[in-house]
Amino acid sequence: METNNSTQTKLQIFILSGQSNMAGRGGVTKDKHWDGVVPQECNPDPSTILRLNSDLRWEAARDPLHADIDSKKACGVGPGMSFANAVKDRVVGVVGLVPCAVGGTAIKEWARGKQLYEDMVRRAKEAAKEGEIKAVLWYQGESDTLTRDDAESYKANMERLVCDLRGDLHSPSLPIIQVAIASGEKYMETVREAQKSIDLPNMVCVDAKGLALGHDNLHLTTESQVQLGIIQWLPFLLRSPLFTLVVFRFALVRNVSKPIQTVTMLPINCPSNSLIRLPFSFSAYF
């Protein structure tokens, strides 16, 4: 693997995996072309945010992050860059993103032994030579909403995936940030409930439902992808005693066109929790 001088600093690595909404379809038009619009929150920062490309080389990260990974489809803005820009000042070292998502894939295609899973593990291990894997960001499930059997087996398949991945990466406590899907077919709610009910250590589920969808009523818009990346960043703040202060300050200084709404952080099996405020709504399940 070739690296540049930036990787002399230990990388703080985040695996981005799942299907199309993780790969990013923000700004992809009806004729399957990306509009090229990059929000400020997704601006590249070559000195602090890198990505592992399809040739296993580190390079400056920029949208579309998955262009050479989910290469058979048009990619646009995903949650990765807004996440990286939010987290970069709160980790020691350079942020290293490892895109692995492929659109239109079901959870069974990510089972150990399948090509997608093995590619993800291979890329993660290669990335780990330059630093520490901090978390896996996972957004997948829409393809499992078509049939009852797929939807009802989702929880067991996802739990198996997490256990296998942690084992193969020799990281039994590897943090997993899963997104509960915002769109899908007939059995969407079955998959969503499965995602929210998974109770594994060091695994959190953030809910994308309510974020704006694009023209196809399936993929998140660019603005929604920006918001999702920030939502996925928030669990890291829970480790900090400054969590409430940081979040309130963020809400106050960020320029938004919509009124600030109340956000509920809802731990699983917990009747209530503190409210924080952000310029959009979401739920997180811990």
Residues annotated catalytic, as ranges = 20, 216, 219
Do the Cβ atoms of 3 and 58 come closer than 8 Å? Answer: yes
- Phi/psi of residue 228, each to 5°? -60, -40
Q: Which two tokens stand for residue 218?
A: 């399936």
Compute the distance between CA of residue 214 and CA of residue 101 in angstroms, rounded to an integer. 19
Compute the distance between CA of residue 212 and CA of residue 223 in angstroms, rounded to an integer. 8
Do the Cβ atoms of 69 and 218 come closer than 8 Å? Answer: no
Computed over its alpha carbons, how large is the radius of gyration of the chain? Answer: 18
What is the 8-class DSSP label of residue 130?
Answer: T
CA distance to 36, 68, 167, 226, per residue, from 33 (Å): 9, 15, 39, 19
Q: Which two tokens stand for residue 273?
A: 């929790």
Cis bond before residue 241 (omega within 30° of 0): no
Enclosing H/E stretch for 133? strand 131-139
